[in-house]
Each structure stands twice: as C-alpha cells, then as structure tokens.
Chain A
Amino acid sequence: MGLLSILRKLKSAPDQEVRILLLGLDNAGKTTLLKQLASEDISHITPTQGFNIKSVQSQGFKLNVWDIGGQRKIRPYWRNYFENTDILIYVIDSADRKRFEETGQELAELLEEEKLSCVPVLIFANKQDLLTAAPASEIAEGLNLHTIRDRVWQIQSCSALTGEGVQDGMNWVCKNVNAKKK
C-alpha cells in the first residue's frame, strides 16, 4: 500500500450504515440471498425460525441486512423490524405461481405500513434458474407494481442460487439508499 492510498483511506469518511429489511413468504429464498450477499456457503440452509442478520460492505456502505422468517406464524412479528428501515427488499419465488396472490397481498400490506412509508422497495423475482419461473415483467404486471407512486421501486430478476442478477439489484440499492422521501 502506497503512502498516498493510506492518506486517502484516512481522509475518506467512515462507511454510511444502511438498514435493509429482507421480507417475503417462506421458501422465497431470503436466507439464500443473504448468504449469497455475504459470500457464504449456501448448501446447508434450513428454514428460518426468527431472523438472521449480516453486515456486508458494498460501494462505501455498510449494509446491515435483516432476514426475517417468512412463515405465516411469524409474519405478525415483521412489524417489530420496520423502524428506521432504509431499503425494503421483497423476495418472490417466481416459480411458485400458486402463491402469487398470497405474496402480492403481503407486499400490498407492507406498502400500506406507516413506518415503511416512502421507503424504496426492491423486488427480487427470484429462482430464475428454474424453468418454470415467471419472468419479472409478468410478476410486475400481476402485482400491479406500476400503481406504486409514493416511493421509488424496482423489480429485478435473479437467482440467489447462482448469484445471477443479485449484484444488479444491490447496485440499485446503493444508488437509492438516500432516496427515502422525508
């Protein structure tokens, strides 16, 4: 490391901390996504009871990612984690068409929450590695995403398993961290 780069490091401001909330139905792939972000092994994943949290450095940000279990029984606890959220990431299993309605309803309820008002939302259309996965455009239409007007939003197709599309989504996150309308 040269003298210049050391000086530059000293000068640069400490990483801005960002609170990211990862929600979605059970089996959407939230924990796989979290582990993929943290570059951890994804072969031994079990259903999440409660929550997992990990911190990831990205583009000058310290992303504190909260992955909350998606099972119906613990969805009432989701609201305990809303406070001070900078970005909401909502994960959908694109191959589970039978539950599109359920996942759409949960998302709609989240967007109504006062504590999450104006929080930018990224929707991951996950599991695109499966042949039966619906394309992101179809999901966007089915969930009427175009009617969202009170915040910035984005839908990104991805596969948490292979990692494809995940980085694109996170780039959007970093760009929109400060887009929360006060």
Chain B
Amino acid sequence: MERPKHFLYPGAIFANTEPYYITTILGSCVAVCLYDPVIKIGGMNHFMLPLWNGQGLASPRYGNIAIKKIIEKLEALGSSRSNIKAKIFGGAEIIATNINQFMIGERNIRIAKDILHEENIQILSSSLGGKLGRKIIFDTYTGEVRQKYVGEKK
C-alpha cells in the first residue's frame, strides 16, 4: 500500500498512471476526483471559482476549465470516457469569503455537477456543502477517497 503522495494546491490538477495518494484541503473550493476502474488510474483537480471570466490566464482555478482539463488528462493517460467515474467534494459555505462572491461554494458545486453531466460522467458519490472545510485523500489505484472535516479554511 506504500505509494507516493501528492499534495494538490488550489488551481492545479494532477493525474498519473502510477498509483498515488492525492491529498488536498477544501473550503468553498471543489475537487473533482476522476477514477477509471478498468485501468485503475485517477486524477484530481481543485478549483476555486466556477467560471473563467476572461480575465488573466485560463487556468484550472476555474471550474469550467479545471473539469475539462482533468477529463482530457485522464483520456490522454489512456482512459476511455465511458469508464471514467467521478466523486466530488467541497463547496462549503464558509463565512468571511469575499463579499462580492456570494454563494461561491454553491456555485462551484453546481458547475461541477453540470459539466460532469454534460460530459456523461457518472458521479458515484460526493460530500458537498455544509459549513466545514474538508481534507481528502484520494487513492488513485482503488478509487477510494477518505475525508475528514477540518476547521476554517479557504
């Protein structure tokens, strides 16, 4: 069960053909864990805002970009679309988020569900919303995600 670990920062994505433990910490951010049970690989993103608004670089900080990117990445590593399953986490409403970004967690969740639906990817399980942050560990070989609630985090 010993395998390398990767800490995923907000705005980054990670996927590999080798088994990994991918960990991240989520507040209002959402992480989509994609898993291919056939070839036993997985990948994760961690986005902060739902939609790229055309400002700055089109990075996976934004849900619409991050989700497409992680799907592409898994396909590039040899997964076929019909095998890919998703588990989604995060999107808590943590008080003292930016004032002009109301309901950011809610909107992050919505975009994740919408895009996965559009792309015909089944959501196997999820842990979303609420008021607490989450710490998750994704085993890319078994597809198992362990979650623990944590205190205030962005």
Q: Do A and B bind each other?
A: no
